[in-house]
Amino acid sequence: MNCDDINNAIYVYLDGELAAPEEGDFEGHVSACRRCSRLLAQESGMLTAVRANAPQPKAPESLRLRVLAALDEAPAPLPAEARAQAPRTSAWLVGAGWIGAIAAVVIAMVLAFGKPAGGETDERRVLVESVAAHRENLPMEVRGSEQQVRQYLQENVPFPVEIPFDDSQAIRLTGARLTRVGGREAVLFNYDVQGERMTVVQVATPPEAEAADAETEPSFSNHQGFEVVTFRKRGIINSVVGQGQSPGKIVRASYAQ
C-alpha cells in the first residue's frame, strides 16, 4: 500500500471493514509513515467527534401513542400461513414491486382467502416470476467477473450458488442480484447473449418439500412473448428467460456437455 491507497481505504479501515490481509498492509504502512499516521489520527478524531456529539433525539411519547393507534386501525396483515398455501399470492406481490404496492396487497388478500391456486407447481411460479423480473430489468447488485459474482452471492445467499452457465464468447455473465420468488430468497443472473439480455432466476427448493433434491428435465415454453426454459438441478429450480431461441439453445448446449 502507498499513501494514495491509505487515503482511499482509510474509512474502510476505521469502520473495521477491511479484509484481514489488507488490514495488515494498511497498518504496516501507517506505522512506518508519519504523514499517514497523522491522517489516520485526524480522520478517526473526526469520526469520533461526530459519533460523540451528534444528537440522537428521543421519539416523543405522542409518536408512540400515534403509531399504536394507527396500528389498531390498520388492516390485518397477510397471515404468514397464506403465503405457503397460496403461492400465487406472493407471486403477485413480487411482480408488483416491493413497497407501496397497496393495490397489490388488496389483490393478494383477496387471493389469499380465495381458493388456493391448485396445481401450480414451483417451476411454474418461478417461470412466471422470472419473466416478470426479466421485463422489469432492475439494476444488478453485483457486476464484474464470474469470480466476483460468485463471491458476492456466496456471502449473501443462504443456499449453495450455482452459476448457471459458463462464460464464453457467445454468452457472458454481466451481473446478479438477490430477489424473491414466492417469499423465498432467489438469485437473478443477467447474461449478455450476443447483445441480447438473458435472465436466469434460481430458487432453492424448500427443504421440507417432497423430493427436494429431485432433478427435472428442461421444459420449454413461451410466456408473454419470451422463451422460457425451466429445469431443476441439484434441488435448485432454474428459469431461463430471453428473446428468440437463445434460452433453449443455451440450455440444450449446456445439457449436452
Partner 1 sequence: MIFQGRAKKEEEATRDAFNKEALPHMESLYSAALYMTRDAGLAEDLVQETFLKAFRFWHRYESGTNCKAWLFRILTNTFINGNRRKKRPHFSIDASEQDLSSSVMAETSHFYDTPEAEYLGGLFPEHVQRAIEELPENFRIPVVLADLQDFSYKEIADIMECPVGTVMSRLFRGRKRLQEVLFDYAVELGVIPAQDARDEEGAISLEAYRARRKAVGEG
Residue 4 contacts partner 1 per CB under 8 A: no
**Looking at 95, 183, 218, 248, which residue binds partner 1 (CB under 8 A)?**
183
DSSP result, the chain: --HHHHHHHHHHHHTT-S-HHHHHHHHHHHHH-HHHHHHHHHHHHHHHHHHHHS--PPPPHHHHHHHHHHHHHSPPPPPHHHHHH-HHHHHHHHHH-SSS-HHHHHHHHHHHHS---TT--HHHHHHHHHHHHHHH-PPPSEES-HHHHHHHHHHH-SS----SS---SSEEEEEEEEEEETTEEEEEEEEEETTEEEEEEEEEPPTTSTTTT--EEEEEEEETTEEEEEEEETTEEEEEEESTTHHHHHHHHHHH-
C-alpha 89: how far from chain center: 20
Instruction: Give yes or no for residue 65 binding partner 1 (CB under 8 A).
Output: no
Nearest distance, CB of residue 128 and partner 1, angstroms? 19
119 binds partner 1 (CB under 8 A): no
Q: Which stretch binds partner 1 (CB under 8 A): 20-28, 70-78, 205-213, 225-233?
A: 70-78
Nearer to partner 1, 89 or 130 (CB): 89
Specify whether the CB–CB gap between 190 and 197 falls below 8 A: yes
Based on the shown chain and the rule CB under 8 A, indicate whether residue 50 belongs to the binding site for partner 1.
Answer: yes
Closest distance of CB 203 from partner 1, Å: 15
Residue from 20, 74, 103, 256 that binds partner 1 (CB under 8 A)? 74
Q: 164 — alpha (psi -120 to 50), left (phi > 0) or beta?
A: alpha
Does residue 156 touch partner 1 according to CB under 8 A? yes
Instruction: Say whether residue 71 binds partner 1 (CB under 8 A).
Output: yes
> Which residue lies nearer to partner 1 by CB, 39 or 117?
39
Please say which residue, 58 or 115, places its beta carbon nearer to partner 1.
Answer: 58
Q: Is 12 in the site for partner 1 (CB under 8 A)?
A: yes
Would you count residue 78 as binding partner 1 (CB under 8 A)?
Answer: yes
Q: Which stretch binds partner 1 (CB under 8 A): 77-85, 124-132, 161-169, 196-204?
A: 77-85
| 8 lies in the site for partner 1, by CB under 8 A | yes
- Residue with smaller CB distance to partner 1, 156 or 254: 156
The grid cell for 234 is 441439484
Task: List the one residue from 24, 31, 63, 114 that touches partner 1 (CB under 8 A).
Answer: 63
CB 157 within 8 A of CB 185: yes
Binding site residues, partner 1, CB under 8 A:
7-8, 11-12, 15, 17, 35, 38-39, 42-43, 45-60, 63-64, 66-67, 70-71, 74-83, 98-100, 102, 105, 141-143, 155-156, 180, 183
